[in-house]
Amino acid sequence: MKSFFALAAAQVAASLALCATSMITSTNLAQAADLTFNWKGDAGYSADGSFSYDETTTPAIISESGAGSTKALQSLSVSFFNPSHELIGTKNEVVNGVSSNQFLNFNFNTTTGNLFGAFDLGTGTGIGDVFISNVEAPDGTFISPGATYYLYRNITADNAQLLDSSTNRIKASAVPEPTTVLGTLLVGMLGVALSSNRVAFFSRKPKKI
């Protein structure tokens, strides 16, 4: 009976290992780094976003500005929420390596994992568009990158309403690698499989003679 249990456990382990190998291989082919970022204003407004780039070709410093083909970013999106956490705007800044925002400013250090310098996302040309910037002052003038981030909504073609502001740093964090998540799941699945076999073995009633 013990040999049967050992054989079953070995078969389960082999199957899970094969599954993990397949996932790792497909993940390594992509070599894409996926990250998220968030910001919270003093009045309760917030911004959440995500971006990605190819780790094999991207330099240590990502610096993007304006519309057109990007230098490193493959994707970049941002969504804005009011103090009740209701969505008030969203923008796909970069899609397949192409920026649609002429006012885009985005700088990221891939070594330290920090955003720095000029930051301007979500800027649209339509009335009602929401955007966040640390280079456009409330009076509409453009300034050197500062520690204060301002959240605006376009009310006319030439004017924007200030919704919120804060010196809170915009934090970026890496999305867990699929292989890391898979590894945790595989360990859990293996444990369940082994436990199930133990329960099945020890709960059997002795045969009547």
pLDDT at 157: 80
Q: Among residues of the chain, what percentage have pLDDT more than 90?
A: 63
Is the pTM value of this prediction over 0.95?
no
Report in angstroms the alpha-carbon separations of 5 from 15, 16, 176, 201: 16, 17, 34, 8
Q: Which of 156, 155, 65 is nearest to 103 (CA)?
A: 65
Q: Residue 130 above 80 pLDDT?
A: yes
The more confidently predicted of residues 133 and 31 is 133
Q: Among residues of the chain, what percentage have pLDDT more than 70?
A: 70
Categorize the per-residue pLDDT at 140 as very low, low, confident or very high, splitting at 50, 70 and 90. Answer: confident
Q: Residue 183 above 50 pLDDT?
A: no
The more confidently predicted of residues 207 and 8 is 8
| Secondary structure (H, E, C), the chain | CHHHHHHHHHHHHHHHHHHHHHHHHHHHHHCEEEEEEEEECCCCCEEEEEEEEECCCCCCEEEEECCEECCCEEEEEEEEECCCCCEEEEEEEEECCEECCCCCEEEEECCCCEECCCCEECCCCCCCCEEEECCECCCCCECCCCCCEEEEEECCCCCEEEEEEECCCCEEEECCCHHHHHHHHHHHHHHHHHHHHHHHHHCCCCCCC
State the average pLDDT for the chain.
80
Pairing of strands 149-154, 32-40: unpaired
Task: Lowest mean pLDDT of 61-75, 101-115, 195-209, name the range.
Answer: 195-209
Q: Residue 12 above 50 pLDDT?
A: no
